[in-house]
Amino acid sequence: KLGFPLFVKADAGGGGKGMRIARSPEELLASMESAAQEAQAAFGDPAVYLERQLQRPRHIEIQLLGDHHGNLVHLGERECSVQRRHQKIVEECPSPVNDEDLRERLGQAALAIARNVGYYSAGTVEFLVESNDLKSFYFLEMNTRLQVEHPVTEMVTNVDIVCEQIRIAAGQKLSGRQEDVRLRGAAIECRIYAEDPANNFLPSPGTVTELAEPAGPGIRNDSALYCGYQIPVHYDPLVSKLIAYGNSRDEAIQRMLRALGEYRVGGIPTTVSFLRRLISHPDFRNGRLHTGFLEEHRLFDEEITENAFIPLAGAALEHLLNGKKPREIRSQRNDNRWKLTSRPNFYWRKW
């Protein structure tokens, strides 16, 4: 009844793991076996299920907040269509194609799902939306946790989602009501990974030897990086989330491009240059997005050179020619851990 192509998905899955595509009956068994093996290794559960694969859909999700007093609100949508290996790498709020009608229908569907299970705290309901008419949408999953991409919603709504989670856990009511939620401006998040784009995006563990992080109006950087930080081999290679806010989507894009251009990480390859090329693409700038965006535009095909290696190469050459120990390249940032984890450029307002 479903037909082909089909998604084979891990029942306990997430983050793009345990997912395969079967385009014919001949591929189905092998896809199920492969997905089950990966699911067992990643989640300890080999169970899989089948789902019809939509062609060129948009991935749009709704952020929810609920308390123990029956209050439940949605904070608008996030566009998460730019993905690699079924893993989001760029998210934005609001969606560049969403209108008030679609936002209301998605929001009400998400609220109905959460109410049906008595949900509270922060949660996200994810949907696939048909790209050709933007009228039909399908439930994908609900993530009963704080999402990686929550900062873009915080920037646009001025709601501190983490603070609200703490209030809810303490038995307090939400700080605002649905009618208090207002979307102002636009925000884009780029996930920065310790991966080598020139080597099929293989993880690149190592030591951070140089760090210059962007700042300025509308820029937020949630980062684990500091000079001397050891990128581990055992965990996900996500090392930073760079967020840019603007009064319009165009302004947010321009600020993101500037921030990516300023970002320097030495000692390891990262995806910074790849993301800069992606954000610069005309179809991204025009909001023509879908989950196969990267494959369609062959953005994986061009070799990427990280500018951050230039000063390291120079230091190595000086050492070889002069027999001198190269100076350690330090970040200009203050290494005080309290300051490293603070948000000096952003202040919360009441709903």
What residues are labeled active site? 145
Asked if 131 and 58 touch (Cβ cutoff 8 Å), the reply is yes
DSSP annotation string for 220-240:
EEEE---TT-EE-SSS--EEE
Question: Exposed e or buried b for every residue in 142-170, given b needs 16+ CB within 10 A?
Answer: bbeeebbbbbbbbbbbbbbbeebbebbee
Residue 13 near residue 42, CB atoms below 8 Å: yes
Find out whether the peptide bond into 94 is cis, omega within 30 degrees of 0.
yes
Q: Are 85 and 16 in contact (CB under 8 A)?
A: yes
Q: Write the CB contacts of 129 (distance below 8 Å, at least 6 apart in sequence).
A: 57, 58, 59, 60, 102, 106, 136, 137, 138
